[in-house]
Structure 1
Amino acid sequence: MGVMPARSLTSADREALAARLLEVRRSTEQLCEPLVTDDYLLQSMPDCSPPKWHLAHTTWFFETFILAPFEPNYRPHHSLFSFLFNSYYEAVGERWPRPARGLLSRPTVEEVFCYRKRVTERMTTLFQEANVATWEAILPVLDLGINHEQQHQELLLTDLKHAFGLNPLLPAYQSGTISGGGVDTSLRWEEYPAEIRWIGHMGSEFAFDNESPRNRVFVESFRIASRLVTAGEYLAFVDDGGYDRPEFWLSDGWAAQKQKGWAAPLYWNLADQTLFTLRGPQPLDPREPVCHISYYEADAFARWAGARLPTEVEWETAASGREVAGNFLDSGRLHPAPDAGGGQFFGDVWEWTASPYTPYPGYRPVAGALGEYNGKFMCNQMVLRGGSCVTPRGHVRPTYRNFFPPDARWQFSGLRLAKDGPA
């Protein structure tokens, strides 16, 4: 669940929160405007969900955790929607199987949009009529729901890209070419001394519970790259036989890439030096960050380059104090961009770290179903930091902890190099 200290709410605060909810809900629907009806059911693998399911699930979340407990005389929109659109909340009840979400031709797309509209209207009415005590109880759940929907905005695009990328027609989500831009930035090493550092969320703004509690950790001296690893640098690894040299690979990674036939990042076509994007096939730009690689590939490249991946503590140390600016969903590019000189700590690609996804000291999930949001996934996952080109701009912080299994490649994931100690 989110971390949001109690505070007094003015009428202006209420109006601002209600307006933010409506803005995020509209943004999700705007992402679906390029789709045709047939696209809404696409599910390319169990880890991906159809666009229609994302639309319905984010609505189910608000209905389940805001309307059900707080709306007077609550009645569900549909008696089976909780079964169809629950994701993984065991405490809420049984769920439709995740791999079969693409089989749900009903409810129709039109019915799902009606469901969204009706739940949003009911929340608006609830907000207008709620007293101060009710509003203060709603606030942390509303903030979590808004951020949850922003997560699904990103997932909607990454899942759709995976489905489109499997289609021999290579359809484009958006038309047009992707511009170059950026500057020619050589890699520099930024040095940080050994010392005790504080990491984790602090302050009154929203953060997920896995970003807390703020805690101290001793960090040895380290160096971190001033920019992300580029596609051109990764291509050199490929050309040097990197996928056929076991000395660079973890045992599990070597087994995964051999079993799955990896020979380059996902969506790359080495034969004609192109890659698949949300705008269809595009020329491979060697200056842009390498993207759609697993943790195993990121780790193997780092070893080949004579470096390593940074820990999440090292990454947060280097990112703290920097402006959260970069190439996000809001830019409309929907693809990583060459470095413009800012270091790309935020946006473009999620950066794999060397850190397993585990709780901070003193972490306790909240009681009830919302305690399942993050805590129960703290096993067999690796932490990524920084956001990507399809992450909403206002959704990222230096303390944000994303996490995926080490073989995941369909997310916009890349890497930044690190080394021990001073040069």
Structure 2
Amino acid sequence: MGAGRIAVTGDLKGRFFAARQLTADLAAPLSDADATVQSMPDASPTKWHLAHVTWFLESFILRDHVPGYRPFDDSFGYLFNSYYEAEGQRHARDARGLITRPALARILEYRAHVEGVIATQWDLLPQAALDLIELGIQHEQQHQELLLTDILHLFAQNPMQPAYWADTDIPEVALAATDMHWVDGPHGIHPMGHSGTGFAFDCEGPRHEALLQPFALTDRPVNNGEWMQFMADGGYGEPRHWLSDGWAWVQRENTIAPLYWRKDKDGQWGSFGLDGWREIDLAAPVTHISLYEADAYAGWAGARLPTEAEWEVVAARRDPREGNQLDAPGAVRPDATAAHAMFGNVWQWTGSAYRPYPRFRAAEGAVGEYNGKFMSGQFVLRGGSCATPRGHVRASYRNFFYPHQRWQFTGLRLAKDV
């Protein structure tokens, strides 16, 4: 199918209800007000995330595959459709925070209703619906990460500096940063893209060959201490490091540091996270940076950003479940304990535009809009983050954002020609 190439394996039912429960657990610390407010057009309220992933299941599974099913609320299609033109008109994205009604309690009733119908109909669902269950799990996991990053952005605007989840186990002694080393990657002709085993989104294929010139990647992402050196050297004030659009963005936004960094009354940098304000961990990967910032740092360091093909052929040799990824609700933050993992901690910007692979074809119907319609003006990120549910990503996974966006857990790994 178009939005995901699927081979259903393992306990599909168990994984489905576990994913639904994790979303509910992530939202549990939030009040109705927390779950309703929208802090910027790129973000969505938690209440909207909770309802949208449920609308997805109700529309594409229950409505289309359960005879006689009637929607829980006829207005929810308009309120909680995201971008599916084939599904009709919808509420404007930048006004999602104005949906004060229905209340959070009503949205939780909606979730319970849809889950209950799926549970009772499970053994009667056709294979096409089970394929969509798998897509629904993956879709829900994407919104779990968005829920966390959107709440972080919202709480960062609050002068009370609230923590989403207080971390009561902060180590007293930070880990020392390890030196960064270059590791040669394989060159020549290599396959890339999803191999056809297990689930993948449509944009991960078709599998094809890529020609790689000799290159090397660093053995870990750039850390906060190294980023501070870039800042101390005037990196944000020197136009020669920046793309033209990036320099215009820096000047327009008056950008002087990663998002959520701020100096305290003593002039020391700290950062705001889901666990509140913390001193900068110099050994942890830098995060919440735009493509423009990542590219400028790479130029300053005498390196470049990797291509997605270079990143993938190296990552294909690693375990995609390694590293600091989301296992349960908590004080999610990049840390130094898994600095050398290829996956987790921070999404890694590449220098590759998000465009279709050779022979890509979007599926017919609404689910064909899932990824293909966004293949313009965005750049690819790889590897997952500390807010990505463990098991969600793989070497071929392609995330994508516009070059100025940085509210996600985005960082960088360096590359160079050899």
TM-score normalized by the length of structure 1: 0.94
**Equivalent in 90, 97, 100 of residue 95 of structure 1:** 90
Answering whether residue 307 of structure 2 is matched by residue 311 of structure 1, we say yes
Answering whether residue 248 of structure 2 is matched by residue 255 of structure 1, we say yes
Q: CA deviation at 1:339?
A: 4.5
Query: Partner of 2:124 in structure 1?
Result: 129
SS at match of 1:161: helix
The unaligned stretches of length 5 or more in structure 1 are none
Query: Partner of 1:24 in structure 2?
Result: 19
Q: 1:232 to 1:184 in 2, by over 3 A?
A: closer
- Contact 2:377/2:402 (CA < 8 Å) preserved in 1? yes
Query: Partner of 1:159 in structure 2?
Result: 150
Q: CA deviation at 1:192?
A: 2.3
Amino acid in the other structure paired with 1:139:
L
Percent of matched pairs sharing the same residue:
51
Amino acid in the other structure paired with 1:234:
W
Distance 1:318 1:288 in 2: 22
Query: Partner of 2:361 in structure 1?
Result: 364
Answering whether residue 137 of structure 2 is matched by residue 140 of structure 1, we say no
Amino acid in the other structure paired with 1:25:
R
Amino acid in the other structure paired with 1:209:
D
- Contact 2:165/2:331 (CA < 8 Å) preserved in 1? no
Distance 2:47 2:134 in 1: 23
Distance 1:227 1:333 in 2: 22
Distance 2:289 2:136 in 1: 29
Distance 1:73 1:339 in 2: 52
Query: Partner of 1:209 in structure 2?
Result: 202
Distance 1:366 1:156 in 2: 27
Which deviations, in whole Å up to 9, do the C-alpha atoms of 1:107-141 show, x marking residues without a partner? 111100000000011111121333xxx1x111221
Q: CA deviation at 1:166?
A: 1.0
Which deviations, in whole Å up to 9, do the C-alpha atoms of 1:44-81 show, x marking residues without a partner? 10110000000000000000110011011021111110
Distance 1:166 1:184 in 2: 30
Query: Partner of 2:230 in structure 1?
Result: 237
Amino acid in the other structure paired with 2:90:
R
**Equivalent in 186, 199, 207 of residue 179 of structure 2:** 186
Q: CA deviation at 1:194?
A: 2.8
**Equivalent in 66, 80, 83 of residue 85 of structure 1:** 80
Q: CA deviation at 1:4?
A: 1.2
Distance 1:354 1:146 in 2: 29
SS at match of 1:395: coil
- Contact 2:347/2:384 (CA < 8 Å) preserved in 1? yes
Distance 1:258 1:223 in 2: 32
Q: 1:193 to 1:391 in 2, by over 3 A?
A: closer
Aligned runs of 1:364-383 on 2, under 5 Å? 364-383=361-380
Amino acid in the other structure paired with 1:394:
G
- Contact 2:37/2:98 (CA < 8 Å) preserved in 1? no
Query: Partner of 1:277 in structure 2?
Result: 273
- Contact 1:310/1:418 (CA < 8 Å) preserved in 2? yes
**Equivalent in 327, 331, 339 of residue 330 of structure 1:** 327
Q: CA deviation at 1:218?
A: 0.6
**Equivalent in 112, 115, 119 of residue 110 of structure 2:** 115
- Contact 1:183/1:340 (CA < 8 Å) preserved in 2? no
Distance 1:53 1:126 in 2: 26
Distance 1:322 1:194 in 2: 17
Distance 2:106 2:407 in 1: 29
- Contact 1:196/1:218 (CA < 8 Å) preserved in 2? yes
Distance 2:220 2:153 in 1: 27
**Equivalent in 48, 53, 57 of residue 62 of structure 1:** 57
- Contact 1:353/1:384 (CA < 8 Å) preserved in 2? yes
Q: CA deviation at 1:288?
A: 0.5
- Count of residue pairs brought into register by the alignment: 409
TM-score normalized by the length of structure 2: 0.95
SS at match of 1:148: helix
- Contact 2:351/2:380 (CA < 8 Å) preserved in 1? yes
**Structure 1 runs of 4+ with >4 Å offset:** 180-183
Distance 2:396 2:174 in 1: 29
Distance 1:186 1:279 in 2: 28
Which sits farther off after the overlay, 16-25 or 223-232?
16-25
Amino acid in the other structure paired with 1:307:
A
- Contact 1:182/1:337 (CA < 8 Å) preserved in 2? no
Distance 1:293 1:192 in 2: 25
Distance 1:126 1:266 in 2: 46
Amino acid in the other structure paired with 2:146:
L
- Contact 1:202/1:214 (CA < 8 Å) preserved in 2? yes
Q: 1:360 to 1:399 in 2, by over 3 A?
A: same
Query: Partner of 2:70 in structure 1?
Result: 75
Which sits farther off after the overlay, 192-201 or 401-410?
192-201
Q: CA deviation at 1:176?
A: 2.5
- Contact 2:167/2:331 (CA < 8 Å) preserved in 1? no
Query: Partner of 1:4 in structure 2?
Result: 6
Q: What is the aligned-residue RMSD (CA, Å)?
A: 1.4
Q: CA deviation at 1:413?
A: 0.1
- Contact 2:338/2:345 (CA < 8 Å) preserved in 1? no
Answering whether residue 300 of structure 2 is matched by residue 300 of structure 1, we say no
